[in-house]
Each structure stands twice: as structure tokens, then as C-alpha cells.
Amino acid sequence: VIRCRAAVAWAPNEPLSVEEVEVAPPKAGEVRIKIVATGICHSDDHVLKGSLPNVEFPVILGHEGAGIVESTGEGVTSVKPGDKVIPLCLPQCGECSFCQNPESNYCQKFHFSEPQNLLPDKTSRFSCKGKQIHHFVWVSTFAEYTVVPEYAVAKIDPAAPLDKVCLFGCGFSTGYGAAINTAKVKPGSTCAVFGLGGVGLSVVMGCKAAGASRIIAVDINKDKFAKAKQLGATDCINPQDFKKPVQEVLTEMTGQGVDYSFEVVGHADTMIAALASCNMSTGVCVMVGVMDSEISIDPTLLLTGRTWKGTMFGGSWKMREDIPKLVSSYLEKKFNPDLLITHTLPFAKVNEGFDLLHAGK
């Protein structure tokens, strides 16, 4: 058993509490990882606000991490102690019908199909003050050590800087893949990206890499615009600067609406605006943000031919195979997600990280 620090969420709507926890050794088919770096994602915040379903408290959150294998359980063959790895919040079991479908990157072992608050044997490897602590989508990167199933681990290049490639565990892969894989953005096309957090800026990078000729970045926080332009946005607009709905603004800017729109906020009103801002015949709207409510739409928005689709973790990446390839492309300098990192904090200041997130910084 390893004793280490973890940021425990004891209950919703409370700050995280940095505690000493006990992390049990990995059982058969499991891997124990020393987490070196982790990002903070808005999905963690959704859990703390109680708006992500089926998560049980107390829990160790975090799902955007990178680390080094400390030990492995019986039967583990794909990684060994000392390997650099990214734990995967979307696993790749290799056995379910989705894993065996080349067009799908979803896995039926993911939390949306079956809550993953405990490891596959329905027990936890975490305890604190004599209490069982739940896992979060099996990764729980807000702990100095974590235990995950082997099929939720991607082995990466030993040269990868863990404090940078932790973003490939969720934000960068999700946004970049939404443009490349889900929308399949074509060269010369026009795109609109609603929401310029880490995932939205990764969508901008994906649209640019795909050869889009015009990328319109949309956010109510103007402080995000400089970085959006640095990463490839050609225009930046704040919906609050206009007296008309932003979808009308975008339609006027482009003549008939954009070819591709991306909603990376998770609000019903921006979802409807994103759908209405892509052209009514061949426009594609991709939902990337985790929705915080139900939504009602006018079906005629789809009747004329628009496509409305969701994406999970960047579309068709097969997680255990493709995340290592993405890391290798990063090491070859094919893209630079380092620009997404705004602050680097010591682990004890994890709550300050959430404060910066809430402040839009």
C-alpha cells in the first residue's frame, strides 16, 4: 500500500481537500501509476457542481493526467514499471462491439454506459481516514498515485514531457479530433468555434490543421481572443457586442452560414446558436461541450439537410493506439498544444486552479 496525497471531493459544492490517502496495489489486469502532472477540465467542475450523472462521493476527480507506471498486476503485458503513460478516461477494452467497429472510438466500458466509480471488480483502491473513496471514470488523476485497468492506459514515447502531454488525456485530443475526425473539416471551408477554453482552442488548431480558410472564434471573454488568433482563428467575435442573435451575425459574415460549427461550452442557448449558424443545407454542427441541461430545438433546422452530431474524446481515435501516435506527432512539432497551458501550480493549490477556471483565466 502506498500512502500519498490526493485531492478528495468529500461532497458536491465543497472545495477539494488535500488529504493523505492509501492506494492499494494493483490486482490482476490493473496498473498503478505515479501521476506526474494533471490538467483541470471543466468536466471535473461539472462533477463538483453535481451536474454530471452517476458520480458517487467521496471521490478523487481528475482525468487529464500523465505519469509513470509504478507497478502492474498479474497478467498485464502492454506496460511495465518505468513506462511513461497517459491514463484514459475513455477506455479501449477491445472486446465490445464499439471497440471492434473501426469507425467508433466509444467503448461500452465507459462511464456513460455503466458508472465507473469503482474498478471492474467493484472495489476501490483508495481509502482515506478509514473510508472508501470512489474512483472517477477509472483515472482519478488528482492523486499522486492511481490504479486503472490495463485497457485504460496508453503507453507513450519515453521522450514525452509529462507536464505537457497530460493535455492529451482529454482536452487537446477532444478538441483537435472533433475538427479532424468528427466534422472532417475540408480545406478552404469556414468554421465557427463557440467557446475558447482549452478544448475550444484545440478545435481551432484542428480546423487550421485541416486547412479551413476562415475560422471564426466566438466567446464572451475577450481575453481569449489573442490566443485564439495565435492558434489560427481569422476572426473573433463577442456575442454581447451585437443587438441580434450571434447566429444571424455569423450568417451575415459568411453569406449563408459556416460549413462547420462547434459548440464547446455546454449551454442550451449556445448549442442552438451553433446549430443555426451552420448553413442550412450541408452545414455540420458538432457538440463537444458536456451539456448542463436538456434542450429543445426547431426541427426545421435539420429538415433542410444540416447535420448535428456529438463527439466523445475526439471522434474516431482508438484511444490506446492513437493517443501514442498523437504524442509522437507532438514530439515531431506538427502542432503545439503547449500554448494551451496558462498556469502551472503545485498540487497543494488545486483549488486555486479551479478559481482560475471560474474566473475565465
pLDDT tens per residue across span 230-275: 999 999 999 999 999 999 999 999 999 999 999 999 899 999 999 9
Q: Quick one: pLDDT band at residue 342, thresholds 50, 70, 90?
A: very high
Q: Which of 43, 140, 173, 189 is catalytic?
A: 43
Return the DSSP state at 261. Answer: E
Cα 25 to Cα 69: distance, rounded to the nearest angstrom:
12
Q: Which of 42, 63, 111, 134 is catalytic?
A: 63
Task: Please give the average per-residue pLDDT across 300-324, as a whole number.
Answer: 92
Catalytic residue check, 46? yes
Q: Quick one: pLDDT band at residue 57, thresholds 50, 70, 90?
A: very high
Q: Quick one: pLDDT band at residue 316, thresholds 50, 70, 90?
A: confident
**59-60/2-9 β-pairing:** antiparallel
Q: Quick one: pLDDT band at residue 59, thresholds 50, 70, 90?
A: very high
Tell me what pLDDT residue 317 has: 87
Catalytic residue check, 41? yes
Grid cell digits, residue 67: 505519469
Tell me what pLDDT residue 146 has: 98
27: nearest Cα among 195, 174, 147, 187: 147
Q: Which of 42, 46, 111, 135 is catalytic?
A: 46
Q: Which domains are assigned to the chain?
A: 2-170+315-359 (3.90.180.10), 175-310 (3.40.50.720)
For residues 68 and 84, the answer to whether their CB atoms sit within 8 Å is: yes
User: 186 pLDDT exceeds 80?
Assistant: yes
Task: Please give the average per-residue pLDDT across 51-57, as a whole number.
Answer: 87
Tell me what pLDDT residue 115 has: 86
Tell me what pLDDT residue 86 has: 98
For residues 202 and 340, the answer to whether their CB atoms sit within 8 Å is: yes
Give long-range contacts, CB 8 A cutoff, 24+ apart: 252-258.
253/216, 254/190, 254/214, 254/216, 254/279, 256/280, 257/283, 258/189, 258/190, 258/191, 258/192, 258/214, 258/216, 258/283
pLDDT digits (tens, 9 = 90+) for 139-182: 999 999 999 999 999 999 999 999 999 999 999 999 999 999 99
Q: Which of 89, 93, 170, 285 is catalytic?
A: 170
Contacts of 126 (CB under 8 A, 6+ apart): 6, 21, 22, 23, 24, 60, 132, 133, 134, 135, 140, 143
276: left (phi over 0), alpha (psi -120 to 50) or beta: alpha
Cα 298 to Cα 295: distance, rounded to the nearest angstrom:
10
Contacts of 20 (CB under 8 A, 6+ apart): 3, 4, 5, 128
User: Element (H or E) spanning 69, and its range?
Assistant: strand 65-72
Helix (H, G, I), strand (E, B) or coil at 155: strand
User: 290 pLDDT exceeds 90?
Assistant: no
For residues 317 and 292, the answer to whether their CB atoms sit within 8 Å is: no
User: 294 pLDDT exceeds 90?
Assistant: no
Tell me what pLDDT residue 134 has: 98
